[in-house]
Structure 1
Amino acid sequence: MGAGRRRDFPGWRMVWALAGTETVAYGVLFYSFAVFLVPMQRDLGAGTAQLSGALTLAMAVTGAAAPAVGRWLDRHGARWLMTAGSLLGAACVVGWSQVRTLPQLYLVFTGIGLACAAVLYEPAYAVINTWFRRERRAALLTLTVVAGFASTVFLPTSQALIDGLGWRSALLVLAVPVALCAVPHALLLRRAPADLGLAPDGDAASPGPAAEPGPGPSAVPDPPAAPVDPWRDPAVRRLTLATALEMLAITAVAVHLVAHLLERGAPPPLAAAAAGALGAMSVAGRVALTALAGRLGTGPVSASLLAGQAVGVGLLFALPQPVSTVLFVLLFGAGFGVIHIARPALLGSYVPAAVFASVSGGQALAGQLGRVVAPVAAGALIGAAGYGVAFGAVAACTLAAAALILSAERAAALTPERAAPR
């Protein structure tokens, strides 16, 4: 194990802790909504669009809070923000279990949106960007590979809890692991390596200028530190738009795939398993991205995987079942989590470290706008024109995101100090 992989380096302990807590947070606060939708319809007497509006509201609140969260992270770090977010998330899941009306549901999901801003990927990205340099991609891979199993674990688990206990009691059970996430957040997270007399990657701190990252595929070049507005950079703007489009696409699929498969006659456990398998396949895509990025570049590999998602959508409607679903899961799933590695890895080479979390928060806002639009827009397209048209729009979004990532890399390459592969 090289210097960048020291087992005693606190940064790696943080990464593993965050990998576990992100899995729980995404699984309970986001992915589980898909399987609670049907029993809530029966109990609350509300339609799909009305209930989906609660998730839309949560994503809007998360996005609106993201820039402020980014500024907090740049100044204070993630420790107490993520601790408080875990406790808030658990309290809101308990509240979710008790709702009797739509206004109550919307109020609870406002709180869930705030909790998501504090505990999902954005704070974890800021921790990794601060604590890692040579091993940044490896740390991102570890985080997102483990958290990529969130849907795989929590969709079937939530369905089993609903079947055995009812949806309200199921939520009370799920609130417990969310609350327990506060423990590693409080005990393990620290603001910066310098606070412990270290440099990024666990190197000894030096009073002189920081050493340049060593050669090799895991090295991530630092961006220029010139005090310019990062939002004037075309690479940042294009990466931001690509993020919004990809988040729109994967959110639409996460929310509506189960219902689509049920309409085509799949049994509920099989539909939930297929949706959950997207998370498992996203792990393969993230591993492939990290393995190939050193040779081919993060941008080209990411764009290829996102374009493959569009192919998967086409096959879902062009081929008979169950072959179409299997191929869709393989292709769409391989690109399902790519943006979660590509965006922070590329952004870390576009902007100075001192403003990374603030800019990342702006990009998170754009991504959340995609999430906000997705459930309602896709639901409206499904109601007006059917699942084929809605999923066709998903394919168009993934293709556009792929093109924008390639365009961002071309723009970044025009700056000489960014010419090294990312």
Structure 2
Amino acid sequence: MAGDAGHPLSAAAPATVEPLSGRRRWVIAFVGLLLLFTSSGVGFYGFSAFVKPLSAEFGWGRGEISLAITVQFLTTAIAGPLVGRLVDRYGPRRLMLTGLCLYGLTLLGLSRMWTRWHLLAGFVSLGLGSALFGTVPVQSAVAAAFGPRRGRAVGLVTMGISLGGVLMAPVAVVLVDSLGWRSALAVLGLGILVLMPPVVAAAIRLPRSRSPADRPAPPGPSLGDVIRQPVFWALGAAIFAGSLGSLATLFHLVSFFTDRGLDPLTASALLSLTTGFGVAAKLIFGPLCDLISARRVMVLTFSLQVAGLCGYLFLPPGVPSYAATAVVFGLGMGANSAVHPILASQTFGLAAFGTVFGALVAFFQVASALGPAVAGLAYDLTGSYSAAFLMFLGGLTVGLLSLGLSGRLLASAPRP
């Protein structure tokens, strides 16, 4: 791999799991795709089908209902560092099984909800379940199965996030329309409980490596070791600032297009174009991280998002300009989930990957939770998305500066 040298902590201890070979590791990658498909497709994209039915039955405002998504993201962010440490200690398999059972049972419980606190408590539980079987355990399993050069595998696995939006949103609509929202939630919960745990139990098996004395390899750096490093905070600031507008722009894009005079069908088609190139981005930029450093790839993807937001703000309104901008923004936005785990391992190594990635991904989760609300508030105050998009451009600028700072910190870090 060409690119930046890792931080000295990356050499602090050997990896605790030997990479696998052959088809077995690709089976793990495919199961990881299914898990991310489940967490994003059911808990985020699919939930959009339940907003109107819940509002109609209980009289809740859409803002109140959407608050549940923010609560879910924040819960996942808070749980991330602890889950990462547990993955390093016990492996991902047990946590995944626990999280899937919690997730499925919570959906069954939500099918019987009657009050707002049921909704919010349920989404706290969904956030915890997602943390236990989602991004951190999945990427830890992929890191263990493939080792350092895993760009293609990470690209494949993170496609599950985008495919969850493409496939689960219409499935949820069909279930709600045909069964009602309560039965739809119950079907989704039962489906997860019946289908996913047996698949994970059979596929996620990672042999622990042994030292020459046949004892467990020394543990990697602790969370305290990691967060005391300035480069950790520089990368965290870059991830937070650069990700604040990614999901938020996607979330509000249809409203932005219709405000600019497009009909809803065309606006939805442009959103699909954006997410489609988001899928392609994972297959492009994940493998690219095997050739150049993930930090430099992030500079490229942040720059694409800057170009995309500038296109939305300053190009003449119209389908051709919006379509071109959607391609550029989709490529930049879609790369986030593929690049972040590789950034963590290239900087801090694989010895305590779960701990490091769990802490770094919390910055992304918090940004994803706050971004849509910030954009909505900016629109309510100004009657336009321009202020929000300008704010997100500022965030990307801060992100690029933070990436530059992280490069300087890595270059100046003392070597053992």
Same fold (TM over 0.5): yes
Name the structure 1 match of 2:389: 391
Residues 228 and 68 of structure 1: is their aligned pair in 2 closer, same or farther, counting only changes over 3 Å? closer
- Whether 1:92 and 2:89 are equivalent positions in the alignment is no
Q: Aligned equivalents of 1:417 and 1:339: distance in 2?
A: 29
Residues 95 and 246 of structure 1: is their aligned pair in 2 closer, same or farther, counting only changes over 3 Å? farther
Which residues in structure 2 correspond to 1:18-417 (within 5 Å)? 18-179=32-193, 180-194=195-209, 207=212, 229-264=225-260, 271-317=267-313, 318-385=315-382, 386-415=384-413
Q: Aligned equivalents of 1:389 and 1:330: distance in 2?
A: 22
Query: Is this contact kept in 2: 1:15–1:143, CA < 8 A?
Result: yes
Q: Aligned equivalents of 2:199 and 2:391: distance in 1?
A: 40
Deviations 1:337-358 (A, max 9, x none): 3222222112112224332211
Residues 68 and 312 of structure 1: is their aligned pair in 2 closer, same or farther, counting only changes over 3 Å? same
Q: What's the CA shift for 1:30?
A: 1.7
Query: Is this contact kept in 1: 2:45–2:168, CA < 8 A?
Result: yes
Q: What's the CA shift for 1:122?
A: 0.9
Q: What's the CA shift for 1:332?
A: 1.7
SS in 2 for 1:353: coil
Residues 398 and 178 of structure 1: is their aligned pair in 2 closer, same or farther, counting only changes over 3 Å? farther
Query: Is this contact kept in 1: 2:278–2:333, CA < 8 A?
Result: yes
Residues 171 and 118 of structure 1: is their aligned pair in 2 closer, same or farther, counting only changes over 3 Å? same
Q: Aligned equivalents of 1:17 and 1:135: distance in 2?
A: 19
Query: Is this contact kept in 2: 1:93–1:175, CA < 8 A?
Result: yes
SS in 2 for 1:185: helix
Q: Aligned equivalents of 1:273 and 1:162: distance in 2?
A: 22
Q: Using CA pairs below 8 Å that are at least 6 residues apart, which structure has the higher relative contact order?
A: 2
Query: Is this contact kept in 1: 2:139–2:154, CA < 8 A?
Result: yes
Query: Is this contact kept in 2: 1:152–1:278, CA < 8 A?
Result: no
RMSD value over aligned CA atoms? 3.1
SS in 2 for 1:302: helix
Q: Aligned equivalents of 1:255 and 1:247: distance in 2?
A: 13
Provide TM-score, normalisation by structure 1. 0.81
Q: What's the CA shift for 1:83?
A: 1.1
Amino acid at match of 2:34: G
Q: Aligned equivalents of 1:182 and 1:165: distance in 2?
A: 25
Provide TM-score, normalisation by structure 2. 0.83
Amino acid at match of 1:401: G
Q: What's the CA shift for 1:182?
A: 1.9
Deviations 1:112-171 (A, max 9, x none): 111111122111111122233243223212211344322122233334444555444443
- Whether 1:13 and 2:17 are equivalent positions in the alignment is no
Amino acid at match of 1:188: A
Query: Is this contact kept in 1: 2:241–2:395, CA < 8 A?
Result: yes
Residues 225 and 68 of structure 1: is their aligned pair in 2 closer, same or farther, counting only changes over 3 Å? closer
Query: Is this contact kept in 2: 1:52–1:376, CA < 8 A?
Result: no
Residues 292 and 107 of structure 1: is their aligned pair in 2 closer, same or farther, counting only changes over 3 Å? closer
Deviations 1:212-243 (A, max 9, x none): xxxxxxxxxxxx98999222333222111122
Residues 163 and 11 of structure 1: is their aligned pair in 2 closer, same or farther, counting only changes over 3 Å? same
SS in 2 for 1:181: helix
Residues 324 and 338 of structure 1: is their aligned pair in 2 closer, same or farther, counting only changes over 3 Å? same
Q: Aligned equivalents of 2:261 and 2:49: distance in 1?
A: 16
SS in 2 for 1:229: helix
Residues 47 and 107 of structure 1: is their aligned pair in 2 closer, same or farther, counting only changes over 3 Å? same
Q: Aligned equivalents of 1:173 and 1:392: distance in 2?
A: 42
Task: List gaps (5 residues or longer) in structure 1.
Answer: 195-204, 209-223
Amino acid at match of 2:380: G
Q: Aligned equivalents of 2:390 and 2:305: distance in 1?
A: 11
SS in 1 for 2:351: helix
Task: List gaps (5 residues or longer) in structure 2.
Answer: 1-18, 214-219
Amino acid at match of 2:304: G
Deviations 1:363-409 (A, max 9, x none): 22222221232232222112111222123222332333233234323
Q: What's the CA shift for 1:62?
A: 1.2
Query: Is this contact kept in 2: 1:305–1:338, CA < 8 A?
Result: yes
